[in-house]
Amino acid sequence: MPDHDQLLTFPSSYRAQLSDAEFARLSAFIYNVAGIKMPPAKRIMLQSRLQKRLRELQMDSFKEYIEYLMSERGKQEELIQMLDVVSTNKTDFFREPVHFDFLRDTVLPAHYGEAGARPIKIWSAACSSGEEPYTIAMTIAEYCRTKGVLHDYSIMGTDLSTKVLKMAENAVYKMDKVEGLPIDILHRYFLRSKDRENPTVRVVPELRRHVKVQRMNFMDETYSINEVFDVVFCRNVLIYFDRQTQEKVIGKLCTKLKQGGYFFLGHSESIMNMTLPLQPVRPTIFRKI
């Protein structure tokens, strides 16, 4: 065993501390530009995540970083980098499966049963690294396969973070991300890498061609998407916003949802006492009226 007789030294950015006043200023800025709540309990988490940005920018203090971030130059160069760092992106394939069951058993039969049915358009409005839109694609593909039909569809994935959008676009995932999926789903919809040391899988091209991604901030006054969708998934992201912001965001999302279209929320989210054009169908499943 090697000796450990030399003390480690760290650059000053590792030792930079985020004061209460700096945290208050930074959290207010994050809320204004992204709607993300940063309560005092998240100060240490925010400090830890942003220390990497200080190192990359060769800055020694959060004071210096905050001044840069809030400058016109910083808003152009650093804002997206900062939001990539502080936004939380946790997701899985077939997360909250009751939604995909409803899509398969209710939404798809009704849509494709209509006379002159057109391609179904679905928006994954907080798509993170892509597991949700590709789960939607697999659900549609499985429906078409079992019914013996060919139906076209398109899925738009949007997120605040450019980092996770790149992952969604590449559609490459570590093997542990797909552990537990049915073996037939794995065989039909994933390609395995040849690297046995660092095994990964990639979603098959037949599904990838149906999924497009782009960056979008829920706090934008208007959403730069010209399409109207049959279904909107917006799950497990509104919990980071306050109630007023939640209602405002869902209202804007509903302007992109066709009348009679379906809206899906995360299992821990609610629109109770909000004034929205949505009627409950099932818990966390709504229809636009």
Which residue among 86, 119, 136 closes a domain?
86
Whether 216 contacts 224, CB under 8 Å: yes
The string of DSSP codes covering 177-193 is GTTTS-HHHHHHHEEE-
Q: Are residues 146 and 216 in the same domain?
A: yes
Which residue among 21, 56, 86 closes a domain?
86
Is residue 49 part of the annotated active site? The answer reads yes
State pLDDT tens for residues 30-68.
888 877 878 888 888 888 888 888 988 888 899 999 999
Q: Are residues 275 and 134 in the same domain?
A: yes
Its domain, for residue 41, covers 12-86
**Looking at residue 152, which CATH number applies to its domain?**
3.40.50.150
What does residue 74 show for φ and ψ, rounded to 5 degrees? -65, -40
CA dist 160 and 215 (Å) reads 6
Q: Which of 43, 53, 84, 159 is catalytic?
A: 159
pLDDT at position 14 is: 52
Q: What is the mean pLDDT of the chain?
A: 88
Domain membership flag for residue 93: no
Q: Are residues 139 and 196 in the same domain?
A: yes
Is residue 220 part of the annotated active site? The answer reads no
CA dist 264 and 289 (Å) reads 14
Q: Which of 49, 95, 104, 287 is catalytic?
A: 49
Q: How many domains does the chain have?
A: 2
**Looking at residue 74, which CATH number applies to its domain?**
1.10.155.10
pLDDT at position 15 is: 66
Residues of the chain scoring pLDDT < 70: 1-15, 88-89, 115-116
pLDDT at position 259 is: 96
Which residue among 86, 117, 132 closes a domain?
86
